A = this chain, B = another copy of it.
Amino acid sequence: MNDYTTVNANEVITKWPFSEAALGIKANVIREILKISSQPGIINFAGGLPASELFPQTHLNEVSQVVFEKHGAKALQYSLTQGIIELREVLAERISTPDNRYTPDIIQITTGSQQALDLIGRAFINRGDYILTEAPTYLGALGAFNYYGAKYCTVPMDEEGMIVDLAEEQINKYKPRFIYMVPTFQNPSGITMSMKRREALVELARKYQIPIIDDNPYGELRYSGEQVPSLKAMGGNAVISLGTFSKIISPGVRIGWVAACPEVSAMIEKVKQGTDLHSATFTQYLVYEYINAGYLDPHIELIKKAYRKRRDVMLNSMANEFPECVKFTRPEGGLFLWITLPEGVSAANVFDKAIEAGVALVPGKTFYPHEDNDQNFRVNFCHPSEDNIKEGIKRLASVLNKVC
């Protein structure tokens, strides 16, 4: 025994001096839901995961060797906070349109889209500031912005996305810091904002000089319907767009990006530096060489084909098995669709019964900043197999047919 063991190593500081912001973080509801969902025998429509069996393992293994051979120590060393230039060049090219050409200096690489949301919060939010969002909206954004003490003013959605006509009143009343949107194949609703609404929103942002955050993780995953331009393509420098390779290559590489104007990009770089210096150099090169080998676009076609099929299987199963009074969206892309229960039927109740019946989904409440919803569910149609989709919808229908 050493002298220093006179200090009791198991002693705990009586009251850990946690910050008020940290103590204010609410328990993560979805974590509990995912814990329940992963019990054996449960068909899981709850998670936000892409399909594991579609990851391009063989090609990524191949290009990982290219990374070592071609970039060597450079891929293992510290690198720029902005991200490696090779990847930023490719991204600037990919998001450029004939009308808007982008250069690598407006791209900031992030540790997945989630870090982009955190850095946006860090760069823009003072405690008590309002953010204007769609209702429902992406829960990961709420998780990121909540730490910074954000409050929310919300605008409801219909089948064309946010009802922009209702946004101006909110803007005048709450003076939001920015507008946060998932306008394309929205998480959680699956809804895509119409061209007309996009135009109206960009006009509104210009009129009030409020930046729009265009969170666009699913934009490349369109299965049907007509392409609409991204908000970024329409609004130019008034729009800060977020992208990620999580849904089109792999979430485990944790590579996303922010595309903004030089002034905002420089600020995002500045606030990122203190948080992690930079995202993993190695996985940045991995993604770059994967794209460089020409693998990305064919891979996107491959997963689109599989996801389109799963979506159709789910939509058909729902149409055949659900009672008429239960509504659901018919997304043109992305990972999720949205169930609306008839008035008077509680999603919390249905959730418990669904778990008993062996199927998990996420109650809508989680996606509302003010949690004022007990009528909806988010359903992931990309992660489960076609057989599990059929069986899971059968189980869910048996519950719905009893309560509706």
Contacts and interface: CB of A to CB of B under 8 A. Distances in A.
B280 A254 contact: yes
A21 B234 contact: no
A32 to B, nearest CB: 13
Contacts of A311: none
Interface in A245-304: 246, 250-254, 261, 263-264, 267, 270-271, 273-283, 286
Contacts of A252: 75-79, 280-282
A269 to B, nearest CB: 10
Contact of A61 (B68, B123, B278): B68
Interface string A126-150: 1001000000000010011011100
A238 interface: yes
A388 B356 CA distance: 69
A172 interface: no
A122 B99 contact: no
A203 to B, nearest CB: 8
* Copies of this chain held together in the complex: 2
Nearest to A145: B274
A16 B283 contact: no
A118 B274 contact: yes
Interface in A213-270: 229, 233-238, 246, 250-254, 261, 263-264, 267, 270
Contact of A238 (B13, B114, B263): B13
A25 interface: yes
A140 B15 CA distance: 27
A16 B76 contact: no
Contacts of A124: 17-19, 22
Interface stretch (A2-10, A155-163, A392-400): A2-10
B73 A275 contact: no
Interface range on chain A: under 10, 10 to 19, 20 to 34, or 35 or more? 35 or more
Contacts of A235: 7, 9
A199 B11 CA distance: 16
B211 A271 contact: no
A61 B234 CA distance: 43
Given A61-B65, A236-B9, A237-B13, A271 B77 contact: no
A16 B237 contact: no
Given A50-B77, A252-B282, 9 more contacts: A7-B235, A10-B236, A16-B264, A17-B124, A19-B126, A28-B273, A52-B73, A275-B275, A280-B280
Interface of A: 1-5, 7-22, 25, 28, 48-50, 52-53, 55, 57, 60-61, 64-65, 68, 72-79, 99-100, 110-112, 114-115, 117-118, 122-126, 129, 140, 143-144, 146-148, 177-178, 195, 198-199, 202-203, 206, 209-211, 229, 233-238, 246, 250-254, 261, 263-264, 267, 270-271, 273-283, 286
15 contacts: A4-B234, A5-B99, A16-B264, A18-B267, A22-B122, A22-B123, A57-B72, A77-B251, A77-B252, A110-B276, A253-B282, A254-B278, A254-B281, A279-B280, A282-B286
